[in-house]
Every structure is written in C-alpha cells, then in structure tokens.
A and B are shown apart, each in its own frame.
Chain A
C-alpha cells in the first residue's frame, strides 16, 4: 500500500450537500483523495454513494459545498467538464458493444482517424489496435485488441472499460461496483487492474458492497450513512466487522 505525502491532494470534496426537493441525499460530506490512492467508498443502498459518484463525475451539481482539484476550486457543468479535468467513471454496465472488438470499444467515440490535409477520411484500425494492445499490456490484462467483446470473460470486459479511462491519461478513476456481476475467479483480475492503475499514479475511488474486495485493494475507506460521512479511516486500522457496523449503524462513527 503506497502512501503519498500530504501535499499531493488531487481531489477535495468540501462540505458537499445534494438535495432532491425535500430529500437530502448528501448532507455536508467532505473527503480528499491523493494521487495513487485507492479509496473504498462504502455504504448501504440509499446512503448517498451514487449521488457522490455523480457529483464527482459532473452529472450532478451540488446544492452547496465545493470541489477542489489540485487545490483549485472547480465547477463541473456536465460530465464532459469532469472528463476534461481527468476524471473518468466506469459504470457497472461497462457500456460495451458486443459486436465490436476490444480495440473498437476502447476507442468508441474517440476513434483515431487517418487524415488527409487535416480532414478525417478513414478510421485507423491498426493504430487503434496497437494502442489498445499497449494499454492492455500496461494493465497486464490478457485481453487481445482484436478480440470480440461477446467472447470475453468478465475480467477482460472490465479491462476494456478501464483501458478507456487510460486514453486521455485520467488522474482519477471512479469504479462503480466493478466486482458485483462477475465470477469469484474474475474478481482477482479486476483487483489486479485496480492495483495497476494505482501504480501508474491514478487515484481510484472504488464503490463496492463487497467487503473482501475493498479490504484487499483500498488504502482508505470512507463510509456513508444516510447522506453523511460516518467513517474515514485507513484500511489497516479497521476491520470488516467494524465497517459492517458503520454501514448498518451499529457502530456510530470512526475517525470523523
């Protein structure tokens, strides 16, 4: 587990509140994220995890509070703003197309083109395959660039979705339940992918229900309950039992 110095804070959420009418989905939550850190974001259904992810990804504008990127206050007017700032989200359904190859999926919407006098004339399949192959190599995944998605394992699919986030060298990657829908054997692969991202200096926010997964890769765990932060603790200093208690409310607060 790598620990970075205090001054490398990449993302800081300050006193974030999000209301939908009378419902307060998030009620003054603050936390920070450092480069190369894996943060486990946990909580029961309705605790505010997805609201927090959507806020970081620019899908939601907080009712109050502020977002700071590398110390600068930032406002996202949409997901493209967040993406431009180096924040990428891998959603649970992965947004893959079964009829396209791994490389075609990685570059979907961001195709590399052959250009004549600056005008895009044709997709550059070879360049995209080569670059996708390099990304899979960096992620140490056995996914092949020309493999069709419908013949892939759950872990390989996740690798394709994660490779997408590496295209524009994102600094922060949010993974929404990446291990929820795959076999136990594949989970190991996905956790390795998360460690590869971490080694490359990417900050990862792992949203998960699965206690063993979070405990095996996360440096730090933040627990939300009913829209408030009830724990912000180094993984080494807590236990699955304590976190379970924090999620359900049996344990009141830790490190907050």
Chain B
C-alpha cells in the first residue's frame, strides 16, 4: 500500500466535491430537457415523458445491481442477452409447458441468479475475469434464445399478465414503479446495510476483506447473481409489454446499462459509486436517446452521439474522481 501525499480530507468537508458528479448530471438533465423542449414540439407531452420513463425503467432495473457489480470491481456484459433469454424462456414455460405465471417468473429469475452466480464462482474459484465469463454468456444466451424460439416471437397467452406487468399503476407504467422500488432497495443496501459496506470494501481491497473474516466468496457470487436476477425480471417485463418472448429483445441493453452506471459516476476501477448517480445516468441516457429520435437525427448518427456523450462523461468522471478521492484515483 503506497502512502499518498497528505491532503486533509474528511467525509463532511468533501460533500460538495464528492457529489459534483450528481450535481453535474442534474444540470445536464435540465439542459437536455430545455433544449429538446424547444427543438421537438412533442417532447414535453405526457405521453412522451412516460415513454422516456418506461424506456429508462428497463435499463434502470438492471443498472442498480450493475452498480454493485462495478463497485465490487467486476462487470457483467451479458445482461442484454440474459434479458432476451429470460423473455423467451418465460414465454416457453408459460405457453409450451403450461407453468403458472408466478412460478415461471420465479424459475427464470432463479436461472438468472444461477448463471450470474456461476460467473462469480468462476472468479472466486479459478480467477476467471467476470468480463470473460459474461462474454461467454453474452454469446451463449443470445444463441440459446434464438435457438429455443426459432427466432420467432413466443406468445404469452395471458391478457391479465399483460394488463398487470405491462400496464399502468397510479398513472405510471408498472415498470417505472418497479424501477423506483429497485432504486430504493439498492440505495438502502448501499448506504445502510452491512452487505453494501462490504461491497465497497471488496472493490477497494479484496485481500483486506478476506483478512477481516468477511466471506468474500459469498459476497462476490451474490453480487454477480443479482444482475442475473434483475435481467431475468426485465425479460419478463418486456414479455408483458409485447405479449411475447423475443430472442432479439434488449439488443445492446448491456451497453445502455453499463453506460448509465459509468455516466452516473461509478468508477470501473471499483470501490466508488452511488445509486443516485446511476439513477441520474439512466435518466440522462433515456432523455438523450428520446430527444435524438424526436429531432429526427439519423439512427446511425444517434449512436455516434451517444458514444461521444459517454466518452465525455468518463473524462469528466476521471477528473472529478481525482479531486474527490486524491491522486491515487481510488
């Protein structure tokens, strides 16, 4: 452990410096909304705002567990295909196997947990980087979903299911409520639970965590399992929206999820990140995507713009992290 130059730095004094990222994102969000409300006449309509929230919700539900994964120093790039596979599997279980919907939901979530947990276990047992194990899953799950569905939509034969999970509740889409619930749950875990504190510690100094008698293997496996569970949940929610399971659903979702987490100020080096940052990152990315579409920007150019925004956010974060956490970048 290197001894860094001494800068007097305590929790209280650095509150503003530590939260510069969230403040910056709030400003960016207001600027984006202000600009798009002028350039696209429908941008501020209720219908469009709800569309933005809905598309943010599918990303957000996975982004909160992903924040923990990245804080712990890991990554899960398999979430897009995991969503698609869970969507197809759920639809098959309900239609071809006639399994009751709640049980089918439970089964796909359990399977998601198992796959994520295996990535965590491979890291713990054989030091396989989670980037590699989830890259393998990324390929296998998309292929599996295409194979199991013959690349055709698998109809979920239940109108109630569509009405409840794909519909609205108290004026907002159910998925938006579920995203808020996920945000509250993970914020609680990050700030107030022993589990969350150990995740931050794990990302900073895994050897210390083990030396202090904390079960770091269990910690790592459970973190990786959590993205699997929530990706599976999103797969079912997309089924509820579309009425079918689709192997090509959530293409590129892993990109939006990881981008939202990084834009939200979580450092890929581990040890640092907050759920509020991720929530703002999710909203910024959703607003940006929606505004570009409404302004009729060419879809190919949209991707270039999004890539540029993420690069910019990473640069800003690197500069902020240096100020907030000292020259070590930790």
Which residue numbers of A lie inside 8 Å of B, CB to CB?
79-80, 83, 91, 93-101, 104, 108-109, 111, 113, 120-123, 144, 146-148, 150-154, 157, 181-183
A98's partner among B11, B197, B212, B271 (CB-CB below 8 A) is B271
Is there contact, CB below 8 Å, between B325 and A150? yes
Report the nearest B residue to A113, measured CB to CB. Answer: B194
A96 touches B212 (CB 8 A): no
A181 to chain B, nearest CB (A): 7
* Chain B residues, Cβ within 8 Å of A123: 192-194, 197
What are 29 contact pairs spanning A and B, CB under 8 A?
A: A96-B205, A97-B200, A97-B204, A97-B208, A98-B205, A98-B328, A99-B201, A99-B272, A99-B325, A100-B197, A101-B10, A104-B197, A108-B198, A108-B201, A109-B209, A109-B212, A111-B194, A111-B197, A123-B193, A123-B194, A123-B197, A148-B10, A150-B328, A151-B8, A151-B326, A153-B6, A157-B3, A181-B3, A182-B3
> Cβ of B11 and Cβ of A146 under 8 Å apart?
yes
Interface: B38 (CB within 8 A):
no
B11: A residues at CB distance < 8 A: 101, 146, 148
B9 touches A109 (CB 8 A): no
* Residues in B lying within 8 Å of A, measured CB to CB: 1, 3-4, 6-12, 14, 192-194, 197-198, 200-201, 203-205, 207-209, 211-214, 271-272, 325-326, 328, 330
Candidates A96, A97, A147; contact of B9 at CB < 8 Å:
A147
Q: Measured between alpha carbons, how far is A93 from B330 in the docked complex, in Å?
A: 17
A151 to B, closest residue via Cβ: B9
Q: SS class of chain B's interface: helix, strand, loop or mixed?
A: loop
Assembled-state Cα–Cα distance A157/B4 (Å): 11
| Residues of chain B lying within 8 A (CB to CB) of residue A113 | 194
The answer for the CA separation of A104 and B9 in the assembled complex, in Å, is 15
Q: Are B271 and A94 in contact (CB under 8 A)?
A: no
* Contact residues in B for A93 (Cβ distance below 8 Å): 1, 207-208
B7-A151 in contact (CB<8A): yes
Q: Which residues of B contact A108 (CB under 8 A)?
A: 197-198, 201, 208-209, 212, 214
B194:A99 contact, CB within 8 angstroms = no
Interface secondary structure of A, over-half rule: loop
In whole angstroms, what is the CA distance A39 to B10 when docked? 36
B7's nearest neighbour on chain A, judged by CB, is: A151
Tell me the complex Cα distance, A230–B53, Å: 75
CA distance A93 to B210 in the complex (A): 13
Q: Answer whether A144 and B193 are a contact pair too, CB < 8 Å, given A98-B330, A99-B272, A154-B3.
A: no
| Interface hub of A97, A146, A182, A183 (most chain B Cβ within 10 A) | A97
Closest A-B pairs by Cβ, 8 of them: A95-B208, A151-B9, A122-B192, A109-B212, A97-B204, A99-B271, A95-B211, A98-B330
Q: List, in ascending order, chain A residues with CB within 8 A of B211's CB.
A: 91, 95
Q: Is the CB of B326 within 8 A of A109?
A: no
Chain B nearest CB from A122 CB (Å) reads 4
Q: Is the CB of B272 within 8 A of A109?
A: no
Collect the chain B residues with CB atoms within 8 Å of residue A101's CB.
10-11
Q: Which residues of B contact A147 (CB under 8 A)?
A: 9-10
Contacts of B198 in A (CB 8 A): 108-109
Q: Which residues of B contact A182 (CB under 8 A)?
A: 3
Asked if B204 contacts A99 (CB within 8 A), the reply is yes
Q: What is the distance, in angstroms, from A186's C-beta to the closest C-beta of chain B?
A: 8
Q: Taking the nearest CB of chain A, how far is it from the CB of B275, in angstroms?
A: 15
CA A148 – CA B323 in complex, angstroms?
Answer: 13
A131 CB to closest chain B CB (Å) equals 16
Chain A residues with CB under 8 A of B3: 153-154, 157, 181-183
Residues of B within 8 A of A183 (CB): 3
Could you tell me the distance between the alpha carbons of A100 and B207 in the complex, rounded to whole angstroms? 15
Complex: chain A residue closest to B2, CB-CB: A181
Q: Which residues of the partner chain B approach A94 to less than 8 Å between Cβ atoms?
A: 1, 208
Q: Which residues of B contact A153 (CB under 8 A)?
A: 3, 6
Is B1 in contact with A96, judged by CB distance below 8 angstroms?
A: yes
In the complex, A182 Cα to B326 Cα: how many Å?
Answer: 19
Chain B residue nearest to A102 in the complex (CB): B10
In whole angstroms, how far apart are the Cα atoms of A122 and B192 in the complex?
5
Most chain A Cβ neighbours within 10 Å, of B3, B14, B325: B3
Contacts of A99 on B, CB cut-off 8 Å? 200-201, 203-204, 271-272, 325, 330
Min distance, Cβ B156 to any Cβ of chain A, angstroms:
38
Please state if B213 and A80 are interface contacts (CB–CB under 8 Å): yes
